[in-house]
C-alpha cells in the first residue's frame, strides 16, 4: 500500500521542505548547480567554506597597507585597487551569498572553516548581513603538536563556538570530525556552547606518499557508502542526549542511506560525493528512494522516522556500543572459518 510521504523537517530552527541537503562542495559554489540542486529537491544548500586563514590574511594585508602609507595619506588612495584585488576571496564570498539568495528559494548556509579564537570571527556578521540563513562552522584541525593536550584543543573550540554563536543572530551549526577522545562529552559541550546543530561528520583528506618522487601529495578522494557506519553509530548514540539538530554527513549515496541516518536520529542528511559521481540531479533519485522506503515501511513523515532507531529506542541499545563487539567478532570468525571447513579451537 502506498502512503503519501511528508518530507518536511526542522533543522537549526528552519523548516526545510526535505531532509536532503547539499553539503559544502564544488557544486554548492556554482549558481547554476544551486538551481539544479533546488530543482532536484534539495532542502537547503551549504556553500563551500571560507577559511580563517583567508580572512586573517586579508585583514592583515589591509592593516599593513594602511599602516605603511598612513603618513602619506594623499597617496594612500592609489593602493585601494591593490586592497580590492586582495579581497577577492572574502568579497566574492559575500557576493556568492547574495547571488545565491537571489537565485534559489531554499535556505543558503554559509560555511566558515577555522579553529582559533581570533578577530576573524567578526567576519561572521558580514555573512549574516549578506543574507545567509545559517552558518556552518567547520572545526577542521590536525592535532599534531605534542605540547597541546586534547583538553586544551577542545576548550578553545568550545570557546570559539560560544563566541561565534554570540556574534551572530542566525543559527550556528558545527561540523566536526569524529576524532575526539570523548566524543559524547564534546558533542554535549558544543550544545552547551550555543550550537544550534551538529554536522556529524566531516571527512578528512589524507595525504599520500608518491613512491617515485617521494613527495607527500594531498589526495581528495570521494566517499563510499561503507563510510556511513561512523555517523550512523554516533548519531544513534548522541540523539538521546542532544536536543539540538543533527545533520548526518559522509557516505550518504542513496535514499536508503539517508533513511538509516534519519532513523538513527538525524534531522537532515548531507551529500557531496554521490552528487559529484552522478550529477546534481541525482538528489531526485535519492529522494525517490527515500520516499519508496518510507512508503514500504509505512512511515508517513520524516518527523515520525527521526530517531525511531536511536540508541534508547533501538530493540538492542548495546548494538551501538562495545558490548556488541565481542559477539560480532565471535560470530564472524566462526562463519569465516566454517566456510573454509576449519573448526574453532575447543569446538
Ligand X SMILES: Cc1cc2nc3c(=O)[nH]c(=O)nc-3n(C[C@H](O)[C@H](O)[C@H](O)COP(=O)(O)O)c2cc1C
CA dist 121 and 206 (Å) reads: 27
Q: Which three cell numbers stand for residue 29?
A: 559554489
CA distance 125 to 130: 9
Hey, what's the cell of 217?
A: 601529495
Q: Which of 266, 271, 282, 291 binds ligand X (CB under 6 A)?
A: 271
- Candidate residues 5, 9, 23, 267; the one interacting with ligand X per rule CB under 6 A: 23
Task: State in angstroms the smallest separation of the CB of 190 from ligand X.
Answer: 16
Taking the C-alpha atoms of residue 111 and residue 173, their distance in angstroms, rounded to an integer, is 9
For 291, counting Cβ atoms within 10 Å of its Cβ (0-12 exposed, 13-18 middle, 19+ buried), the class is buried
Q: How many CB atoms lie within 10 A of CB 347?
A: 7
Per CB under 6 A, 250 contacts ligand X: yes
Judged by CB under 6 A, the chain residues 185 through 204 that form the site for ligand X are 202-203
Of 49, 90, 191, 254, the residue at the interface with ligand X (CB under 6 A) is: 49
65's grid cell = 597597507
Among 97, 106, 162, 252, binds ligand X (CB under 6 A): 252
Provide the minimum distance between the beta carbon of 51 and ligand X in the complex, in angstroms, as a whole number. 8
Query: In the complex with ligand X, which residue's Cβ is closer, 111 or 254?
Result: 111
Q: Which is closer to ligand X, CB of 64 or CB of 179?
A: 179
Of the residues 132, 168, 171, 175, which one makes contact with ligand X according to CB under 6 A? 175
Closest separation in Å from C-beta 260 to ligand X: 14
What's the closest the beta carbon of residue 25 comes to ligand X, in angstroms? 4
Work out which of 120, 272, 309, 311 binds ligand X, going by CB under 6 A.
272
Q: Is 26 in the site for ligand X (CB under 6 A)?
A: yes
Alpha helices per DSSP H over the chain = 31-39, 52-69, 73-76, 80-86, 88-103, 124-129, 150-167, 183-193, 229-238, 255-264, 273-278, 282-296, 302-305, 323-339
Which residue is associated with the grid cell 585583514? 59
CA distances from 48 to 3, 21, 87, 91, 165 (A): 36, 13, 17, 14, 20
We find the least distance from the C-beta atom of residue 128 to ligand X, in angstroms, to be 18
Helices then strands, counting H and E runs in the chain, come out as: 14, 12
Is residue 220 close enough to count as binding ligand X by CB under 6 A? yes
Task: Pick the stretch among 60-68, 71-79, 265-273, 296-304 that binds ligand X (CB under 6 A).
Answer: 265-273
Distant-in-sequence, close-in-space partners of 23: CB < 8 Å, separation ≥ 6: 46, 199, 249, 270, 271, 272
- In the complex with ligand X, the residue whose CB is nearer, 60 or 222, is 222
Q: Is 54 in the site for ligand X (CB under 6 A)?
A: no
Q: Which residues 6+ apart lie within 8 Å of 283 measured at CB?
A: 20, 22, 37, 40, 41, 42, 271, 275
Burial classification of residue 69, based on how many CB atoms lie within 10 Å of its CB (0-12 exposed, 13-18 middle, 19 or more buried): middle
Using CB under 6 A as the binding rule, the residues of this chain from 105 to 144 that contact ligand X are 111, 113, 138
The answer to whether residue 249 forms part of the interface with ligand X (CB under 6 A) is yes
Asked if residues 156 and 115 have their Cβ atoms less than 8 Å apart, the reply is yes
Of 59-67, 217-225, 234-242, 255-263, the segment contacting ligand X by CB under 6 A is 217-225
223 contacts ligand X (rule: CB under 6 A): yes
CB 264 within 8 A of CB 239: yes
- Which one of 79-87, 160-168, 218-226, 315-323 is the stretch in contact with ligand X (CB under 6 A)? 218-226
Residues 280-339 that bind ligand X (CB under 6 A): none
Q: Is 273 in the site for ligand X (CB under 6 A)?
A: yes
- Nearer to ligand X among residue 144 and residue 220 (C-beta): 220
Minimum CB distance to ligand X, residue 85 (Å): 23
> Where do contacts with ligand X occur on this chain (CB under 6 A)?
23-26, 48-49, 111, 113, 138, 175, 202-203, 220, 222-223, 249-252, 271-273
Amino acid at each position: 500500500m502506498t502512503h503519501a510521504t511528508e518530507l518536511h523537517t526542522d533543522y537549526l530552527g528552519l523548516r526545510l521542505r526535505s531532509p536532503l541537503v547539499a553539503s559544502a562542495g564544488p557544486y554548492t559554489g556554482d549558481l547554476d548547480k544551486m538551481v539544479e540542486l533546488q530543482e532536484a529537491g534539495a532542502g537547503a544548500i551549504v556553500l563551500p567554506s571560507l577559511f580563517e586563514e583567508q580572512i586573517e590574511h586579508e585583514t592583515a594585508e589591509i592593516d599593513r597597507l594602511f599602516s605603511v602609507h598612513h603618513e602619506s595619506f594623499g597617496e594612500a588612495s592609489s593602493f585601494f585597487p591593490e586592497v580590492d584585488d586582495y579581497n577577492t576571496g572574502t568579497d566574492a564570498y559575500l557576493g556568492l551569498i547574495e547571488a545565491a539568495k537571489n537565485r534559489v528559494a531554499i535556505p543558503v548556509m554559509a560555511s566558515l572553516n577555522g579553529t582559533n579564537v581570533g578577530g576573524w570571527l567578526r567576519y561572521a556578521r558580514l555573512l549574516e548581513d549578506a543574507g545567509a540563513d545559517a552558518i556552518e562552522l567547520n572545526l577542521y584541525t590536525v592535532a599534531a603538536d605534542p605540547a597541546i593536550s586534547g583538553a586544551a584543543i577542545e576548550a578553545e573550540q568550545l570557546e570559539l563556538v560560544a563566541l561565534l554563536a554570540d556574534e551572530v543572530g542566525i543559527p550556528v551549526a558545527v561540523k566536526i570530525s569524529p576524532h575526539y577522545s570523548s566524543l559524547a562529552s564534546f558533542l554535549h559541550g558544543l550544545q552547551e556552547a550555543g550550537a544550534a546543530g551538529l554536522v556529524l561528520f566531516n571527512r578528512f583528506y589524507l595525504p599520500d606518499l608518491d613512491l617515485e618522487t617521494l613527495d607527500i601529495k594531498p589526495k581528495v578522494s570521494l566517499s563510499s557508502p561503507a563510510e556511513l557506519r561512523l555517523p550512523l553509530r554516533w548519531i544513534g548514540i548522541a540523539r538521546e542526549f542532544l536536543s539540538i539538530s543533527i545533520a548526518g554527513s559522509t557516505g550518504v549515496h542513496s535514499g536508503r542511506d539517508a533513511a538509516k541516518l534519519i532513523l538513527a536520529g538525524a534531522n537532515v542528511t548531507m551529500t557531496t560525493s554521490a552528487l559529484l559521481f552522478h550529477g546534481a540531479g541525482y538528489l531526485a533519485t535519492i529522494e525517490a528512494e527515500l520516499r519508496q522506503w518510507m512508503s514500504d515501511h509505512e512511515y508517513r513523515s520524516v518527523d515520525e522516522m527521526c530517531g525511531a532507531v536511536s540508541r534508547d529506542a533501538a530493540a538492542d541499545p548495546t548494538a551501538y556500543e562495545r558490548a556488541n563487539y565481542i559477539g560480532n567478532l565471535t560470530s564472524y570468525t566462526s562463519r569465516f572459518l566454517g566456510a573454509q571447513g576449519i573448526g574453532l579451537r575447543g569446538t
